[in-house]
Amino acid sequence: MSIERRRTTRDGLFIIGIVGRTGSGKSTVARTFAEAGAVVLEADRLGHEVTDTDPAVRAALAAEYGDEVYLPDGRLDRARVAGKVFRDPAARGRLDALVHPRIIARIRARFDELKASGFRGPVVLDAALLLDWGLERECDIVVAVVAPERLQLERLAASRGWSREHAAERLAVQRPEDEFRASADVTIENDGSREALEARSREMLGRLLAAHEAQDGH
């Protein structure tokens, strides 16, 4: 398939998008890249900033779910909202329309800040919905992280406390792994230990940076 990426620029940024299903190991790959000097932008964290600090979002969510949807410390009760929107497509659509454009705007603003600061290096965009948002076109390269479903279920049970049934439900509504593979330039197979994934990630980043530098004429 033809994969459209951002045009080659001289802005100094090498933007690496990471895609994959929940429990595939994306966060471990992003963390490993960060340890090697990359700046990591986490869409989930930016989403928390939006729901917790954006006045218009807070007002809209309080109007839909009641003032108690915000916890005493000011943070959104995400478990409560997630339980509602997972089974109510209309509610999910309203939430997405409210929050997603603001997350995308923050991502782009962060890109601009890094350029303005003179940063010269890899920038990792860890966003579960990167393909849905069309942000792969703003990346220099996209890396898919894939894993056997049985391992994804085990990891979600261990990291999030989900039952196997709930984890399977959450995975069932996500893109199949074949789509992530097809949409990516390279794939990291996460079918072993965390240490093995970290080693593969370091090796992959080295190859990507070497190829980027060669292409850039350095």
**pLDDT tens, position by position, for the chain (218 residues)?**
345 566 555 678 899 999 998 888 899 999 999 999 999 999 999 999 999 999 999 999 999 999 999 999 999 999 899 888 888 999 999 999 999 999 999 999 999 999 999 998 899 999 989 999 999 999 999 999 998 888 888 887 777 777 788 777 777 777 888 889 999 999 999 998 899 999 999 999 999 999 888 876 65
| Whole-prediction pTM | 0.88
Q: Distance between CA 85 and CA 78 in Å, rounded?
A: 10
Sign of the dihedral defined by the CA atoms of residues 96, 99, 105, 106, in that order: negative
The 3-class SS string of 150-176 reads HHHHHHHHHHHCCCHHHHHHHHHCCCC
Q: What are phi and psi of 16, to 5 degrees?
A: -115, 115
